[in-house]
Amino acid sequence: MKISVGTQNSDIPGSDNRSIQKAVDQVSAAGGGTVFLQAGTYVCHDSVRMKSHVRLMAEPETVTLIPGPTPISYLAMDADIGERQITPISTEGFYPGLGVILRDDDKPHAQARSSFQITRIENGTLYIDDWIVHDWIAENGGRVIGYGPLIHSIEQEDIEIDGLILDGHRADAPEELKTLRGQNLYCKRTRNITIRNCISRNAYGDGFRFGTSSNVVIEDCEVHHNRHYGVHPGSHTRPVRFSGLHIHHNEADGLYVCWGVQNSIFENCHIHHNGGRVFRSGFSIGHKDSDNRIEGNHIHDNAKYGIAIRQKTEANGAHRNHFINNRIENNGTLPQNIPAEVLAWLPAPEKIGAGIDVQGITQDLVFEKNIVRDTRQGNERTQVMGIQLHEGLTGLVLKDNECTPPVNIPPAS
């Protein structure tokens, strides 16, 4: 089944998330198929909520999804764990179908993996589609904010997204969104996801994020200028295959491999100019992220390291990862250009830019046929270390790498 959405002789007329959602629901109910978006800009007042066996597609670079207006109100009473209602001081700007999140001053940096959807409004109360799982306190500045990922998938399977631009920028964004760890696209407990030929930019948080999902493929996408991570496979999402991605100018790590990502492939990606806001790296891997292949990537001009293997305990280390045929160059930042609030607590070794930084306790890593270098001159050479090794490594293999400056090996303990 195929349904078109748009403003020119389409099956479903419209240019917002409601039109797209109607098409997604119809295709899913028919057993699966394609929703084709005609060229244009679509305003998402709530997330487009993907359904199983649905392909959402457009001709590349012709369709942009953007967020709608951002109403905000302080709470008239607390929004408690176990409730499915929110009572704001004012319901102005809120309406059924809008996605919302909660905040208070004790939890200003709380992550927003998902949003609630307003189902109805009665007597000044917003009724929502799911249970509240934290206490949000009115006397601590509790407030409700109109926000949701542009595309959202929870417990679905066999979904595909092809050719879309996801632009999370909001002209009227309140300060609360500037500390938000949200995302333009979020897939939670979803199986068999393919994302191709998409652009994700200007998210208040991560460009693409996944939680406890499986069989995730991202190909030939661009992810840039997001407030936190560019691409974030997290919470035991595995396996993944990321190929041909252009990840740049994200304000934290470009590609952050979170917890328990295993037996996965990261290949032929261009990762550069990431980490500037919080002094982070191009590619970061750590907690239980084992048995992965990182091959053929060009990683350069990131704020801290090109590749960071994070420090973990032996039981939780990033063991048996294979780094082959990568080009890692010109990473690092001069100390005077590191944000002062970061520099104040940063351990001395971490103020030194490195192409690859390998923390312990990590076992059986292989670095083969990589080029690690700084091609610049004088004070511009901020990648002071080629491969920086720390204590607690065993079974490390360094084979046929071209590394200048050379490998820094820790003293024997």
Co-location of 138 and 204 in the same domain: no
**Can you tell me whether residue 222 is helix, strand or coil?**
strand
Single residue among 125, 146, 167 that ends a domain in this structure? 146
Asked if the model's pLDDT at residue 111 lies above 90, the reply is: no
Whether 341 is covered by a domain: the verdict is yes
How much is the CA Rg of the chain, to the nearest whole Å? 22
Quote the pTM value: 0.95
Q: Are residues 33 and 93 in the same domain?
A: no
**Is 236 in contact with 259 (CB distance < 8 Å)?**
yes
Select the more confidently predicted residue: 275 or 170: 275
Q: Are residues 219 and 121 in the same domain?
A: no
- The verdict on 292 and 350 lying in the same domain is yes
Domain identity same for 130 and 174:
no
Residue 104: CATH number of its domain: 2.40.30
Among 93, 122, 146, which residue terminates a domain? 146
395 and 328 within one domain: yes
The last residue of a domain, from among 99, 131, 146: 146
Please tell me the predicted confidence (pLDDT) of residue 305.
97
Residues 123 and 206 in one domain: no
For the chain, the domain total comes to: 2
The answer to whether residue 413 sits within a structural domain is no
Comparing C-alpha atoms, which of 151, 206, 141 is closest to residue 176? 141
Q: Are residues 238 and 107 in the same domain?
A: no
Residue 286 in domain: yes
Lowest-pLDDT range of 102-111, 164-173, 280-289: 102-111
Read off the pLDDT band of 17 (50, 70, 90). Answer: very high
pLDDT tens for residues 265-292? Answer: 999 999 999 999 999 999 999 999 999 9
Pair (172, 254) in one structural domain: yes
Cα gap 160→179, rounded to integer Å: 30
Q: What is the predicted pLDDT for the residue at 413?
A: 37
- Range of the structural domain that residue 77 is part of: 72-146
- How would you list the strands of the sheet with 99-103, edge to edge? 72-74, 143-146, 99-103, 116-122, 125-128, 85-86
